[in-house]
């Protein structure tokens, strides 16, 4: 059974609502209706851009790498707290050391949510499972499955 993408349904509904509102303003808006319509496009377009940049793009990247990323191992060089928590689980930024296809070592970083029950799993010097982007080897996520 195919999973319903409720986020996509919400986005399409929001875009349809903005388009209907702009049409209503242009049809019945009064003398400054064009400026109101332009302001609506700018405000809602900016909101859409910000939401895509900070909410949807990282989640889509995570989903894509979980499905099509190259499995690998990485050594944790540094662990930094980001002062962000999700359900009382902290988000950390990890500096990782990996080997590319040529066997050369390189470093990259990624952010991940650390479960309170697996806090000792993410310590300096430990090795973790990762998924590496086949196109950009610096784009890495920690595979906790």
Summarised one tens digit per residue, pLDDT across range 61-70 is: 888 999 989 8
* CB proximity list for 123: less than 8 A, separation 6 or greater: 76, 79
Is CATH 2.30.320 the classification given to domain 70-142?
A: no
The domain ranges of the chain are 6-66, 70-142
- pLDDT category of residue 42 using cuts at 50, 70 and 90: very high
pTM (whole model) above 0.75: no
pLDDT at 87 over 80: yes
The tens digit of pLDDT for each residue in 94-142 reads 999 998 777 788 999 999 998 888 777 888 999 999 999 989 989 999 9
Structure-block tokens of residue 118: 């697996």
Q: Count other Cβ atoms within 10 Å, centred on residue 56.
A: 14
Residue 44 reports pLDDT greater than 90: yes
Angstrom distance (rounded) from CA 73 to CA 143: 10
Question: 1 falls in which pLDDT band (50, 70, 90)?
Answer: low
Q: Which of 100, 112, 119 is nearest to 62 (CA)?
A: 112
Residue given tokens 């309170």 in the structure block: 116
- What is the rounded CA–CA span in Å between residue 135 and residue 69? 9
């Amino acid at each position: 059974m195919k999973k319903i993408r409720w986020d996509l349904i919400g986005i399409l509904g929001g875009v349809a609502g903005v388009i209907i509102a702009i049409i209503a303003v242009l049809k019945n808006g009064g003398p400054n209706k064009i400026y109101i319509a332009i302001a609506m496009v700018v405000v809602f377009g900016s909101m859409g851009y910000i939401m895509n940049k900070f909410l949807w793009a990282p989640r889509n990247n995570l989903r894509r790498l979980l499905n099509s990323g190259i499995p690998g191992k990485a050594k944790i060089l540094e662990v930094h707290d980001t002062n962000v928590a999700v359900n009382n689980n902290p988000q950390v930024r990890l500096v990782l050391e990996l080997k590319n296809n040529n066997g050369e070592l390189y470093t990259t970083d990624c952010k991940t949510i650390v479960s309170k029950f697996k806090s000792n799993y993410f310590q300096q010097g430990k090795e973790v499972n990762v998924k590496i982007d086949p196109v950009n080897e610096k784009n890495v996520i920690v595979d906790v499955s």
